[in-house]
Structure 1
Amino acid sequence: MTIDYLVADPSGNTTILVLTPVAKAQHSSLAAQLLALPGIEAEQVGYVSREAGKPLRVDMMGGEFCGNASRSAAAWALACDGGEQGVYDVSCSGCDAVLPAKVARKGEGTYEAFIEMPYPEDVSGILIAVDDFPARFFRVDLPGITHFVHFVPSLEGLDKEKYWTILQDYVDGEDLPAYGLVLCDTKKGEMIPAVYVRDTDTLYWENSCGSGSAAVAAALACTTHKNVACYMKQPGGTLAIAAKVSEKGDLQQIFIGGPVTLGEVETVTIS
């Protein structure tokens, strides 16, 4: 099988975008082969298709939702159109809503892309035992992925693997297609995200995470009942996050955005 693809870098969350039509039944196995290619240090694979009169379609390797891959697909569409800026509707696996993405070309192969994120199905505060003491987490159920956000005084010296093990034990028995952990220091505007995808059995401590960033925005908006707008630094880059609330303080909209770099289209033959 000959595959056309490009490597996108949406704020550090390196993503392989497959441009050749591939049957869904092959998505997981082909993704594993692409991620193992020498010289490509990507965290995920998305399959992109474009049909006139329809939204861009992004199918992630495990059927999960991904905001960064959706932003990258919109940047690719603008590159194909040769424009300087544009708004593209994006449909992504794991999410029934069509999401508008606004893209602007910044230079050769570089773009800035913002996308409205899907509305959470639920945002709730929960207690999980950490070192035998109850610790507050926010569970944010987004379409296609559930994030657990934990606000900490500082990320320095934090044992992230310990928190992941604790979260694994907590969700054991739940049938979640994808779930993530976000450790966040709001004072410094920093976060460390991790995502596990069930169908590909992959865990990545991601360089940046769009849905995790949206989960942070949702948790902050729901606790303060105020609009949120800030930058969130992550291991591989920075994302802008925003959440809008009503006059009563109810969550209405969530946005994320930041830079996207697109590589050249490459071709590879997979046996």
Structure 2
Amino acid sequence: MELDFIKLSPLGNTTVFLRGEAARDAHAALLCEAMDYDHLAAEQAGFLVAPHTGEALLRVEMAGGEFCGNATLSAAALAAAEGAASPFFVECSGAAAPLHAEARHLGAGRWLARVEMPQAHELRRLSLERESLGATALGGAATCVALSGITHLVVEAADLSAAGYDEMLAFLMREAKADAYGVVPFERMGCDRFRIRPYVAVPSAKSRVFERACGSGSLALALAEGSADKRIAVEQPGGTLFVERGVRLFLEGEVLISCRGKVELAGVAR
């Protein structure tokens, strides 16, 4: 079946949005196919669907039904590019309510987007000392940060091996049940500045990706660090995201709208 697509890049975390009539139970398979190398070669994907509330301009449903900070940033950039005057509201799967958003055009398809993040979260400190992590020489504690639809394991570590990431992911999946999981090792780079290399798994989409940028992972780090009433910078392979933690939570970063068109995917139109 033929569907419209928009490909965006929030700091290199390539994101595809699909538009068109498709059965809801076919969305996950279509999104997985759209992400693959032979099609649109993206790290993540979501369907643009009608908002659940009248105040939101658009809604993104991610492949695993999870919340995604960078997809929400991308939705804000897309809404502004399609004529929305800031501020406005967007919705994302995994978030219980519409989210305040704004975006400013930077030129050449680039937008600086700022979006509210869901407030709901739960923090748990987990001990690593008794864990059998053969490839991961870590001690002490990590923080399990449960957000809407995705749970991250935040741990202070540098140069974690690929096997170490998978061990930490397996540990997290034993400790928590979620639509999606992330491993977020971090380094301190100075006052209110951190560096991460995020690894995200969405079991229903059968995907495991070293993301070039992760919005929810950056938010999880801010929450784990207790950075109240602060703005922190989170460096990652694709660039720097900013998290503001105060009365409300906000994520800010650049988004490139790179291309639009039609993609041919398997499936049956509704």
> Per the shorter chain, which TM-score range?
0.7 to 0.9
Shift of 1:50: 4.9
Residue equivalent to 2:106: 106
Question: What do residues 82-107 of structure 1 show as CA deviations (whole Å, max 9, x unaligned)?
Answer: x6x51221111112121111111111
Shift of 1:240: 1.0
Partner SS for 1:187: strand
2:233 equivalent among 213, 231, 234: 231
The aligned amino acid for 2:105 is R
Cα distance in 2 for partners of 1:191, 1:132 equals 18
Instruction: Note the 1:62-211 alignment, pairs <5 A.
Output: 62-81=64-83, 86-128=86-128, 129=131, 130=133, 134-152=139-157, 155=158, 157-172=159-174, 174-187=176-189, 189-211=194-216
Question: What do residues 92-129 of structure 1 show as CA deviations (whole Å, max 9, x unaligned)?
Answer: 11121211111111113110001111113311222123
Q: Of the two structures, which has the highest relative contact order with CA contacts closer than 8 Å and spacing of 6 or more?
A: 2
Cα distance in 1 for partners of 2:137, 2:77 equals 46
Shift of 1:67: 1.1
TM-score after normalising by structure 1: 0.86
Shift of 1:37: 4.6
2:225 equivalent among 220, 224, 242: 220
Partner SS for 2:38: coil
The aligned amino acid for 1:113 is A
Residue equivalent to 2:256: 261
Shift of 1:41: 2.7
Partner SS for 2:80: helix
Cα distance in 2 for partners of 1:173, 1:216 equals 18
Cα distance in 1 for partners of 2:230, 2:68 equals 21
* Structure 2 unmatched runs, 5+: none
Partner SS for 1:63: coil
Cα distance in 2 for partners of 1:176, 1:148 equals 12
Partner SS for 1:8: strand
Cα distance in 2 for partners of 1:158, 1:94 equals 29
Q: Which moved more, 1:255-264 or 1:47-56?
A: 47-56
Cα distance in 1 for partners of 2:137, 2:48 equals 45
Residue equivalent to 2:11: 11
The aligned amino acid for 1:195 is V
Cα distance in 2 for partners of 1:136, 1:180 equals 16
Partner SS for 1:42: coil
1:266/1:122 CA distance change after superposition, 3 Å = same
The aligned amino acid for 1:38 is D
TM-score after normalising by structure 2: 0.87
Partner SS for 1:242: strand
Partner SS for 1:203: strand
Partner SS for 2:171: helix
Question: What do residues 24-72 of structure 1 show as CA deviations (whole Å, max 9, x unaligned)?
Answer: 2111111122112537331011111356944121100111111111111
The aligned amino acid for 1:108 is A
Shift of 1:149: 0.5
The aligned amino acid for 2:244 is A
Cα distance in 2 for partners of 1:195, 1:31 equals 16
Question: What do residues 190-239 of structure 1 show as CA deviations (whole Å, max 9, x unaligned)?
Answer: 10111111211211111110100110111112xx6x42312111112211
The percent of aligned pairs where both chains have the same amino acid is: 32
Partner SS for 1:70: helix
